[in-house]
Amino acid sequence: PCLAGCQDFRNGTTDNEDDRTYTQCMCIARNLAEDGNITRSLRNATATVGVCTDSDCKLLPLFMILLILALFFTFMNNVPAIEVILQSVPADRRTMATGVQWVIVRLLATIPGPVFYGFLLDKGCRLWQLTCCDEGNCWEYDGERFGFTIFGLSLALKTLASVFFFLSWRLFVRDDDKANKSRPVTSEDTSPNFSDTSL
């Protein structure tokens, strides 16, 4: 009520503060005044305690389906990612390659990831709790900006990871393929073998 600039209130069915309706809210009247006449819109400028609940999220089922699919494909690529590392290096260096891979994952994702996402969460805050010397917790987030920022970044990172997986698949050459290409072609490879032919 204070943040909305409300100057008065009326009690509801109980004397509880949560049941009050606050009236003459200047900030709300300023948003309602389409023609700039705040005095006329001040009569309808009321507020109640709590967050607004009039939002109708019709896309929630679609969002939940996409979220489940994203989580499914996120955890499904863990084993193929390890397999790519194991098949891309010689057998005597696979242990070292696995260790280096996880060091890179920790340095580039696990450690800075939560800090960066926390920074983006703070940018999506619409209303901060004010304390004596600093800002406190976030009381309300800008849902639209919050959603586009977080899921937009996640989609961009997933797309980048998919591009690298595709490149590793296209550029990968197996060890037996390398051996076949490096081995010279002999007459035994081109001549037919009749030893197993039964008469």
Contact 38/28 with Cβ under 8 angstroms?
Answer: no
CB 170 within 8 A of CB 161: no
CB of 127 within 8 A of CB of 146?
no
Q: How far apart are CA 159 and CA 162, in angstroms?
A: 5
Measured CA to CA, the distance from residue 7 to residue 24 in angstroms comes to 6
CA neighbor of 177 nearest in space, from 84, 86, 87, 82: 87
Q: Give the pLDDT confidence of 103-132 residue by residue, as tens digits.
A: 988 898 889 988 988 888 888 888 777 766
| Residue-wise DSSP of 105-137 | HIIIIITHHHHHHHHHHHHTEEEEEE-SSSEEE
Burial (CB < 10 A; 0-12, 13-18, 19+), residue 136, is exposed
Q: Which residues pair with 141 in a beta bridge?
A: 125
pLDDT at 199: 46
0.85 cut: is pTM over it? no
| pLDDT score for 103 | 92
**Ordered mean pLDDT values, 10 residues apiece, the chain (199 residues):** 71 70 75 65 71 68 86 81 80 88 88 88 80 74 81 85 82 61 54 50
What was the pLDDT predicted at 130? 72
Model pLDDT, residue 61: 86
Q: Which two tokens stand for residue 149?
A: 């920022």
| 9 contacts 17 by C-beta, under 8 angstroms | no
Tokens 């008469």 sit at which residue?
199
